[in-house]
Amino acid sequence: MRTRSTMRRRIARLASALSAFALAFGVLAIAAPAQADVVNAEMPFKVSGNVQNEGNPVGGVTVTLTGAAGFTATVATDAEGKFVVGVPAKEADYTVTLDETTLPDGIAVIDNPATPFVEANVQTLTVGPGGRATMNFFIGQGERHTTSFIDQVVQRLISGLNFGLMLALASVGLSLIYGTTGISNFAHAELVTFGAVATFGLVGLMGPDLLWIAIPLALVLSAGLGWGLDAALWAPLRRRGMGLVQLMIVSIGLSLGIRYTYQFFIGGQTEQLPGSDAERFKLFGSVTLSITDIVSMGLSVILIVAFALWLSRTKIGKATRAISDNPSLAASSGIDVDGVVRIVWIIGSVLAGFSGILWAYFRPGIRWDMGGQILLLIFAATTLGGLGTAYGALVGSLIVGVLVEGSSLFIPSDLKYVGALVILIGILLFRPQGILGRKERVG
C-alpha cells in the first residue's frame, strides 16, 4: 500500500518535472529541426500523434493526455507536428486534448461530420494490448471549440432554470409541510426518490412504451405514500404533542430506513428511465437542448401554476395558508387542521415524487440515494425563500438552481453544490426569515 502510493507520488512528480521540461523543449522545437517531442520516455507504453493543417505540420501545439489514477502529461508538438507521450498502462483509455488556443489564428480542429456535437479537439484513445496508440489531429479553417462565453452562460442559465424548476416542485412541498406542522422533514429526499423508483418499477412491469401511464401511476403511489406516512406516523405523533426536535430526528430515522429499503430493492447501481438518451438539438451557437429538457420544464411550470392556483383560490388552499399563519387560530375558527395537514402531506408527496422523476432525467439516472443528493439544496432553496412560505420556496429554488449550474462557469464543477450550501448558511445568519418570510417566524 505504502510503497505503491509512494511510487505513484514519485511518478507524478517525475511526470510533472518532465512535462515542464518538455514544454520548454517544445517551445524550442518550433525553431529547431525535427525530432518528435517525447515526454515520459521511461514509461513502458506510448501514445504518439501528428497535428497537420491540410497536410502541413503544425508545431508548438500543446496536447494534454489524462488517464486513470490522476495520470496527466502535457506535450508540445515539434516542427514536424509530431508528439510522443509515454503512458503507464496499456489496455486503458486516455483522453487527448488539443489546446486550440495554441494553434495559429483562424484554424481549428476539423469536426467529424458524423458527430457534430463532439468537440473534435478532445478525443478518447484506447491503448490496446500492443501498448501503442496513435492520435492524429486534422486542422483546417473552422470554428473553434472555445465555446463563446455568452453561449456558456445561456446554456448554464437554461440548465439552471430546468434544475431550479425541478427543485421548486420538491421545495414547495417541504415548505408547506414545515409551515403547517413545523417538521423539518429530512425524509422529503426519500419522497423525491420514491417518484423515480416507482416509475422505474412500473416501467419494468409494463414495458417502456407505457411510460406515459407509468408516470401518473407513480404519482398516485406517491400520494398514497404521503397519506400513509401521515396516517401511520405523523398524525399519531402530532396527537402526542411531540417536540419539534424529536420530530426532526424521527424524520432522520425514517429517511435512513426508507433510503436503505430502496437500496435493498433496486441495488446500488444507477438505472435509466426510457427516453433518458433523447437526442440533443442545436438551439443557436453551441447551445443545445433535448426534448426531455423542454417537456420537463413545461410540465414543471404547469404543475407549479396549478399548485399556486390551488393555494390561492380553493377553500382548502386558503385553510392551508391559515394554518401556516396560526394553527390554533385556524383550529378555533372551525378549520379541520388534521384533515388539511393530511392533504398537505399528499400534495407535498406528489410534487416531490414528480420532481424525483424529473431529477432522474436531469442527473441522469435513478439511484437509491438520488433524493439525498439534493436534500440540502432543497433545504437551501426553502430557507432562502423563507421556511413555510410556498412562493418563497419557488423563488429560492430558481435562485439555487441557476446559482448551482452557473457557478460551474467559475469554480470546478465538483464544487458546484458548495456555493448553494454557503448561501444556505449565509441566509440563515443574516436573514433567517428568507426573502419572502416574515420576521416573527423565527423563534
Interface residues with another protein (CB under 8 A) are 1-2, 5-6, 9-10, 69-70, 184, 233, 237, 242-246, 248-250, 252-261, 263-264, 267, 372, 376, 379-380, 383, 411-412, 414-415, 417-418, 421-422, 424-425, 428-429, 432, 442-443
Please say which residue, 140 or 257, places its beta carbon nearer to another protein.
257
Q: Which ranges of 68-187 does DSSP label H, i.e. alpha helix?
A: 149-181
Find the shortest distance in angstroms from Cβ 225 to another protein. 16
Find the shortest distance in angstroms from Cβ 85 to another protein. 21
DSSP per position, 321-370: HHHHH-HHHHHHTT--HHHHHHHHHHHHHHHHHHHHHHHHHHTTSB-TTH
- Asked if residues 192 and 363 have their Cβ atoms less than 8 Å apart, the reply is no
Find the shortest distance in angstroms from Cβ 411 to another protein. 8
Please say which residue, 113 or 443, places its beta carbon nearer to another protein.
443
Find the shortest distance in angstroms from Cβ 6 to another protein. 5
Find the shortest distance in angstroms from Cβ 8 to another protein. 9
- Alpha carbon dihedral 180, 354, 284, 51, in 10-degree steps, equals 110
Please say which residue, 256 or 316, places its beta carbon nearer to another protein.
256
Strands 82-87 and 92-98: unpaired
Please say which residue, 6 or 332, places its beta carbon nearer to another protein.
6
- CA separation for the pair 144, 201 (Å, rounded): 44
Find the shortest distance in angstroms from Cβ 58 to another protein. 30
Closest CA to 166 of 387, 427, 367, 364: 364
Strands 132-141 and 45-53: parallel
Find the shortest distance in angstroms from Cβ 69 to another protein. 8
Please say which residue, 84 or 247, places its beta carbon nearer to another protein.
247
For residue 378, give the H/E element and its range. helix 370-385
User: Angle between the 149-181 and 291-313 helix axes, to the nearest 10 degrees?
Assistant: 30
Please say which residue, 82 or 259, places its beta carbon nearer to another protein.
259
Amino acid present at 331: A
- CA separation for the pair 290, 275 (Å, rounded): 10
- CA separation for the pair 144, 129 (Å, rounded): 34
Find the shortest distance in angstroms from Cβ 1 to another protein. 6
SS3 state of residue 93: strand
Name residues whose C-beta falls within 8 Å of residue 414's C-beta, 6 or more positions apart in sequence: none
Please say which residue, 1 or 31, places its beta carbon nearer to another protein.
1
Please say which residue, 72 or 112, places its beta carbon nearer to another protein.
72
